[in-house]
Amino acid sequence: MPHIFWQGGQTGIPDRFSIISRFLYPKQGRVGIKEAEDPVSLCYCFGWTKKKIDDEIVRTGTCKAVEDIMNRMKTTGCNCERNNPSGGCCLKDVTQYLTVAQERIGQK
């Protein structure tokens, strides 16, 4: 049975109520890894988005997203299996995006 993974970490089986409530309660968060409009989440446990990474690279010339996530995983733990729509750890996605973003922004 498919599940909806809300950005805030809640999950649910999509039924008429949850689909309707998605539109009635938009602060619940956006659904899934196929989001194309900002903010596009990469780390569902600690709030790293593509925009947040881009902004940090523009501001400082680098981004500490991977280090931040790893440190927070050690201290507070994560819940990737539940929060991330892929059901796995986000570090691969964050690292891949970080590499692409640094190359793209560095070329400006």
| pTM for this predicted structure | 0.67
Q: Are 83 and 11 in contact (CB under 8 A)?
A: no
In tens, the pLDDT along 16-49 reads 444 444 444 444 445 555 666 778 899 999 999 9
Question: What phi, psi does 30 have (nearest 5°)?
Answer: -95, 160
Query: How far is residue 81's CA from residue 21's CA, in Å, rounded to a whole number?
Result: 24
Looking at residue 17, its pLDDT comes to 44
